[in-house]
Chains A and B, each alone.
Chain A
Amino acid sequence: MDWLSRNLPYLLAGISVGGQYALIAIGYTMVYGILRLINFAHGDIFMVAGLIMVYASASMPMYLSIPLVIVVTVLIGFLVERVAYKPLRQAPRMSVMISAIGVSYLLQNLALYITGGLAQQYPQIPWISDQVLVFGASTKRVTVITPFLTVVLVILLVLLIKKTKIGMAMRAASKDFETSQLMGIKINSVISMTFIIGSFLAAVGSLLFFSNYTSVTPTVGTLPGLKAFVAAVFGGIGSIPGALVGAFIIGICENLVMLLNQYVSFDISNFKDAFAFALLIIILFFKPTGLFGEKQTDKV
């Protein structure tokens, strides 16, 4: 029991942060699936969702703040696509990527301007921030909820993609824009839908993620964004199950480093972040398309 209560928190934290990475990673992987674009601004959308929560909760009750965070984040994700990516639909892919990097810096600097560079204290969300006991190990309730919520959201998403008409249009458009247009599919609506779903999940991920931290800074989205991106590539970019599995593996592995840190005589906790990237390099070395990635010819 003692062994369990000593090590279990790391495993739980790993599963939990894995779920949070997964919610962000799906946004990367879906946008890539349809536009072949790595949306560098996605991690910053996640950060913006955190800031919106800070400001919303300061002036209104939680039951209004949470839906507001989700709605505004979705709106920002939608607008970013319309303003920064849609006008470049016919442009080379490199231009869109540079535009994405531009949006990333824009959001970070806007956040810097609004916050004045000061770390903003993230509110305690009642109930999910409470401490609970799991097999004698104390942890926040959010840690326990996250993996279940993530899996439920992913199942709903997969059902949407497999069973609904818009999902069918998304699958068709992700393979062939031109033929999809011939079927009467509005490509721009499908792309907007992708950004809306991605931003929605990033907003949910942000609510869960920041419940474990005390503050939001303008660059706080970078590292989780990067890890989620690694997770998406690890799982095979474009694949939703891949993003889910990749994110859980990355989350668990980096917390295993922390777990091992208790048993070794020198401090390896600083290698926590490096470990995720090392893992990516190893996987890409043996399987360049990622765990679930399909080999496919590049889009022309």
Chain B
Amino acid sequence: MSNILEIKDLSVSYGGIKAVKGISFEVPKGEVVTLIGANGAGKSSTLRSIVGLVKPSGGSILLNGEEMAQKTPEQIVAKGITLVPEGRRVFADLTVLENLKVGAYLRKDDLSEDLAWCYDLFPRLKERHWQLAGTLSGGEQQMLAIARALMSRPEIIMMDEPSLGLAPIVVQGVFEIIRELNRQGKTILLVEQNANMALRTAHHAYVMEVGSITMTGTGKELSEDEAVKAAYLGKARN
């Protein structure tokens, strides 16, 4: 299976501090890949450098074989990488529909088909399409953030902590959506602290610790690994 995204020896530094220390991984087409790890492990920095919000200090980011490192976020988004940012970051003063339209900002074709598809995935957004996004609940805002990213018709969707700050039942819903998107053939790179859910959903998983990848395997392998269980899943659970 071909890789949509290939990360080779990627490093990110803030001033003198190395947040990501030369990591490599790939995301095959049609799969869900997850990066798990504790706070400050460099997961978010990895996503932010892939989409160009921070310039990587070294390494390469290949989207379908094309180099993305050093491109601007607009160029990278135009090439088909999208990020659902941490904390949702919906445009609170724009309506739900406008948020979706902003998501499709670079597209010049007709949006009605994709709007209908998004509304089908998230019926709540259809009901509330005229409402200001700031008035939605946290879970609805997360749905909107995901739908907004989908509107650009990306090659790969990256999500930064989509379960953060949501009630357990809503988290279930978020992961159901991720699985549904994957069933429809979407490629997803997921960063999560909720390792339990992430490992159950992902085909491939990487564990990040202080800027490096320390373990890798299928979601199932890692969820059964004793060290991962101890560090990220909580022993009591299994």
Residues of A within 8 A of B (CB): 165, 168-169, 171-172, 175-176, 178-186
Contact = CB atoms under 8 A, between A and B. Distances in A.
Interface in B26-85: 51-53, 72-74, 77-78, 82-83, 85
B105 A169 contact: yes
A175 B72 CA distance: 20
Contacts, number: 58
B106 interface: yes
B93 A182 contact: no
B93 A184 contact: no
B11 interface: no
Contact of A182 (B73, B92, B98, B101): B73
B73 to A, nearest CB: 4
B88 to A, nearest CB: 9
A168 B101 contact: yes
A176 B51 CA distance: 16
Given A168-B98, A178-B53, A178-B85, A185 B91 contact: no
Given A181-B74, A182-B82, A172 B94 contact: yes
B102 interface: yes
Interface residues of B, number: 24
Contact of B94 (A168, A182, A184): A168
Given A181-B73, A184-B78, A168 B102 contact: yes
Interface of B: 51-53, 72-74, 77-78, 82-83, 85, 89, 91-94, 98, 101-103, 105-106, 148, 152
A185 B93 contact: no
Contacts of B94: 168, 171-172
A195 to B, nearest CB: 19
Given A184-B77, A186-B74, A172 B102 contact: yes
A176 B88 CA distance: 12
Contact of A183 (B53, B92, B105): B105
